[in-house]
Amino acid sequence: MAYKLLLLPGDGIGPEVMVQALSIIRWLQDHRDLDVELDKDLVGGASLAVHEVPIRDEVIEKAKEADAVLFGSVGDPKWKDVSFDRRPEVAILRLRKDLGLYANLRPVRLFDPLLSASALKPEVVKGLDLMIVRETVGGVYFGEPRGIETLPDGTRKGVNTEVYTTPEIERVARVAFEMARLRDGRVCSVEKCNVMESGLLWKEVVTDLHRRDYQDVELSHMLADNCAMQLVRAPRQFDVIVTGNLFGDILSDLASMLTGSLGMLPSATLGSDNGSGKRAALYEPIHGSAPDIAGKGIANPLAQILSLAMLLRYSLQRTGDADLIEMAVTRVLEDGLRTADIATKGEAMVSTEEMGQAVVKKMSELA
C-alpha cells in the first residue's frame, strides 16, 4: 500500500527548497520503487492570502491521516500586523499541538567538507554526529501557575512553573532510547536534579525505564549546565541527549552552531502511535522562511533534503534511501559545491536549483 505524504512548503524559501526535496521523491519513485501518494497544501502566509487563516482544519485532518508531513517554513513580514492568533507561524504551532508532537529530534552532524564553517576548532568537531531529543509540549513553557502579578508593596512578580509527570518523561525517554538503538547505543539524560524536583523525578523515571526496557542501551546522566559546557568542550562524547523543553531549546540551538549553518540542519517532531502502528510525525528544516533571501534562488536546500532523509528513515523505514541521500549530500559537498551560506570567501557559489539537482545526479551515480 502506498504511503501518504503531505507536503506543506509554506512561505519564503520554503517552496524553493521543497521543490528540490520533491525532485528527490520523484527520483526515488522512478528508480527505487518508492510507493507514495503525495498531497500538497498551503500553510502560513500562503494560506492567509487565499483562505484568510494560517492553516485550515482540513489541512490538520490531512496531516493526521498522512504517514508523515514534510514541512518547509512559515513566516512572512507581509503579515506582521495581523493579530497573534492569525500570524503565519500559528500553522506550525497548531500542527505540533493538534498532532500531539511531543519529541523534537535534532541531529547535529558536521559534514567533513564543512569543517571550517564550525565555530569550533576542527579537531574538536571533526566527525561530530549527535542527536538531541527535546520534550516539546510540557515543562516550564506550559506549566501552571504562570503570569505576572503586582504584590501589595507595589513590586511585581513573574512566575513560570516547571511541571513534568511520569508519562510525559517516559514517552520522550522512550523515543531517545529507540533512537540510540538505531545509532551508537548511548543516551545521556540531562536535567538539573541538584536544584529542581522536576529534574529529580526526570532522572528517576529515565533510570527506571532504562532498567525495565532498555538495558542494551548505555545510559548516563548530566546536569544541564555541565552539558552546555561539554557540548562546546568535547561534543563528540555524545550520541543521543534527551532533555526537557527549556534545556532542550537552549542546548539544541547551541549545538546547531557547532555545524556552522542553519541551511544544513534537519529536524523531526514525533508524536504517539495512533494505535494502528502509525506514529504522527512532521519533518522540517530548523531554519525559518528567510525573507531576506526569499525569491533569489540562493537558499540552501540541504536542510530540507536531509529532513526528507529523516522522514524516509523514521516514518517509512526506508533506511537505504535515507543513507543514499545522506551519502549524496556528503559527496556533493566533497565535490566543492556551496550555496552562499556555506561558502567561504572566494569560493564559487551555486543556486538552490543547482545544489538540489547535484544531489539527485549524485544519487543516480551512487545507486
CB 300 within 8 A of CB 264: yes
Q: Is 245 in the site for ligand NAD (CB under 6 A)?
A: no
Q: Is 290 in the site for ligand NAD (CB under 6 A)?
A: yes
**Please, which of residues 334-363 interact with ligand NAD by CB under 6 A?**
341
Q: Is 8 in the site for ligand NAD (CB under 6 A)?
A: no
Name the one range near ligand NAD by CB under 6 A: 126-134, 222-230, 282-290, 311-319.
282-290
**Of the residues 46, 90, 92, 99, which one makes contact with ligand NAD according to CB under 6 A:** 92
User: How far is 318 from 314, CA to CA, in rounded Å?
Assistant: 8
192 given a catalytic annotation: yes
Closest approach of Cβ 78 to ligand NAD, in Å? 10
Closest approach of Cβ 80 to ligand NAD, in Å? 8
Does residue 260 come out as left (phi exceeding 0), alpha (psi in the -120 to 50 range) or beta? Answer: left
35 given a catalytic annotation: no
57 given a catalytic annotation: no
Query: Which residue lies nearer to ligand NAD by CB, 13 or 193?
Result: 13
**Of the residues 8, 70, 74, 312, which one makes contact with ligand NAD according to CB under 6 A:** 74
* DSSP track, 114-142: GGGGSSS-HHHHTT-EEEEEEE-SSGGGT
- Of 325, 353, 284, 309, which is closest to residue 20 (Cα–Cα)? 353
**Of the residues 263, 266, 271, 356, which one makes contact with ligand NAD according to CB under 6 A:** 263
Closest approach of Cβ 358 to ligand NAD, in Å? 15
**Of the residues 293, 306, 332, 333, which one makes contact with ligand NAD according to CB under 6 A:** 293
Q: Is 288 in the site for ligand NAD (CB under 6 A)?
A: yes
Catalytic, out of 225, 273, 296, 335: 225
Q: Is 136 in the site for ligand NAD (CB under 6 A)?
A: no
249 given a catalytic annotation: yes
**Of the residues 155, 292, 344, 345, which one makes contact with ligand NAD according to CB under 6 A:** 292
User: How far is 58 from 38, CA to CA, in rounded Å?
Assistant: 16
Residue 112 grid coordinates: 567533513
- Residue 223: DSSP 8-state: E
x-marked contacts with ligand NAD along 306-335 as a string, rule CB under 6 A: ------------------------------
Name the one range near ligand NAD by CB under 6 A: 153-161, 235-243, 285-293, 313-321.
285-293
User: How far is 29 from 316, CA to CA, in rounded Å?
Assistant: 14
Q: For 91-117, b where at least 16 C-beta lie within 10 A, e where not — what string? A: bbebbbebbebbbbbbbbbbbebbbeb
Q: Is 73 in the site for ligand NAD (CB under 6 A)?
A: yes
Q: Where are the alpha helices (H) located in the chain, listed in sequence order?
A: 14-31, 45-51, 57-65, 90-98, 122-125, 166-182, 197-213, 224-233, 245-256, 302-314, 319-334, 352-366
Q: Is 239 in the site for ligand NAD (CB under 6 A)?
A: no
Query: Which residue lies nearer to ligand NAD by CB, 34 or 280?
Result: 280
278 given a catalytic annotation: no
Closest approach of Cβ 194 to ligand NAD, in Å? 32
- Of 317, 325, 281, 323, which is closest to residue 301 (Cα–Cα)? 325
User: How far is 140 from 214, CA to CA, in rounded Å?
Assistant: 28
Give the helix/strand (H/E) hosting 157: strand 156-159
Residue 100 grid coordinates: 500531539
Catalytic residue set: 141, 192, 225, 249, 253
Q: Using CB under 6 A as the criterion, which residues of the chain lie in contact with ligand NAD when the complex forms? A: 13, 73-75, 89, 92, 262-263, 284, 287-293, 299-300, 303, 341
